[in-house]
């Protein structure tokens, strides 16, 4: 397991969660998706003590993550513990999510 810490644009949170689930091979339900978004809204990475939302995907590759909204900004801090086999892919996804703004992901 390796740790990746970075940030993404808040507007990309839905897309990021979907990509993270896909890369880990985890079947994400709509209820889980909504719980993660609501948890992110309640989080505050700048609070004292910080309030992070924690979740875990147990697909082909285990992913533990923490999300902390920087209140007053459009930034969401992310801390990820990842299987070594998907670290590089997730790092690319994070870089894309903090460089560009994506629309809503398509669901089948």
67 HSE (CA, 13 A, CB side): 26
Q: What is the pLDDT at residue 103?
A: 67
Mean pLDDT of the chain: 93
In this prediction the pTM is 0.89
* Whether residue 74 has pLDDT greater than 60: yes
The pLDDT of residue 108 is 44
Select from 99, 55, 60 the least CA-distant residue to 81: 55
Residues found in the chain:
108
Among the listed residues 39, 49, 47, the one whose alpha carbon sits nearest the alpha carbon of residue 13: 39
Dump pLDDT digits (tens) for 9-59. Answer: 999 999 999 999 999 999 999 999 999 999 999 999 999 999 999 999 999
Cα–Cα distance for residue pair 49/27, rounded to 1 Å: 32
Give the domain ranges of the chain. Answer: 2-97
- From 8, 27, 50, select the one nearest 42 (Cα to Cα): 50
The pLDDT of residue 7 = 97
């Amino acid at each position: 397991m390796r740790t990746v810490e970075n940030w993404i644009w808040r507007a990309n949170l839905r897309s990021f969660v979907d990509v993270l689930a896909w890369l880990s091979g985890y079947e994400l339900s709509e209820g889980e998706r909504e719980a993660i978004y609501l948890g992110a809204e309640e989080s505050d990475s700048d609070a004292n003590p910080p309030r992070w939302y924690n979740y875990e995907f147990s697909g082909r590759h285990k992913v533990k993550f923490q999300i902390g909204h920087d209140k007053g900004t459009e930034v969401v801090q992310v801390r990820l513990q990842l299987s070594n086999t998907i670290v590089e892919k997730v790092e690319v996804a994070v870089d894309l999510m903090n460089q560009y703004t994506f629309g809503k992901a398509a669901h089948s």
